[in-house]
Amino acid sequence: MYTTNDFKKGLVIQLDGAPCVLVDVSFQSPSARGANTMVKTKYRNLITSQVLEKTFRSGDKVDEADFERHKGQFLYADGGRGIFMDLETYEQFEMEEDNFEAIAPFLLDGTEVQLGIFQERMVNVDLPMTVELVVTETAPAMKNATATAQTKEAVLETGLRLQVPPYLEAGEKIKVDTRDARFISRA
């Protein structure tokens, strides 16, 4: 059991039978004496990926989630589903099409990830902060490009489309930020 005093960003708790990670926690005192402090939280349900808000009273208790993080690896895509393997137990897990669709453009076979396991089943996958992917299609390099921030569209080996600097050409490997699908640098 956790109390609201244990709340901090990143803590995984169980609410309504589902594991939820705290995204934001703020303590608010309605009076100058600090009596009846309220704890406002923003959390993400790890099964549905919904971001919700809930307010607790100071001292409220919540259940600890039966949640573990394991090193994992993306094996392959099967139809619209993703197949992952736990690198500790070699157990394989399947991610349904609805959830896999959002992370598929960042995954190559063999990419290492963090698996979120809840009650012996995989409920989420945390990608690495950056991945290295090869540019497969883009417009030719622009000669005499000005110093202003010009970009052009590129298609990467996973099918991801993003804006890149004008000097990049097909065949180059680049680093991509997985949080917002943004070009970082050449690899």
Architecture of domain 130-186: Beta Barrel (2.40)
Examine the pLDDT at 31 and tell me if it is beyond 80: no
- pLDDT of 115 reads 95
Dihedral of alpha carbons 53, 55, 58, 60, sign: negative
pLDDT at 187: 84
The pLDDT of residue 183: 94
Least confident span in 28-37, 85-94, 103-112, 123-132? 28-37
Question: Which CATH code of 3.40.50.300, 3.10.20.30, 2.30.30.30, 2.40.30.10 fits the domain covering 2-64?
Answer: 2.30.30.30
Average pLDDT over residues 25-39: 77
- 68-126: which CATH number, 3.40.47.10, 3.40.190.10, 3.30.420.40, 2.40.50.140? 2.40.50.140
Say if 68-126 and 130-186 have the same CATH topology.
Answer: yes
Rounded Cα gap, residues 33 and 134, in angstroms: 59
Q: Is the pLDDT of residue 168 over 70?
A: yes
Q: What is the overall mean pLDDT for the chain?
A: 89
- Sketch the domain layout of the chain as residue ranges: 2-64, 68-126, 130-186
Cβ atoms 58, 37 nearer than 8 A: yes
User: Percentage of the chain with pLDDT > 70?
Assistant: 93
pLDDT over threshold 60, residue 153: yes
Say if pTM beats, i.e. exceeds, 0.85. no
31-65: burial string, b at 16+ Cβ within 10 Å, e else: eeeeeebebebebbbbbeeeeeeeebebeeebeeb
Residue-level pLDDT at 20:
93
Q: Does residue 80 contact residue 98 with C-beta atoms inside 8 Å? A: no
Give residue 44's identity as a one-letter amino acid code: R
For residue 34, the one-letter residue type is G
- Give the DSSP H/E element, type plus range, for residue 101: helix 97-103
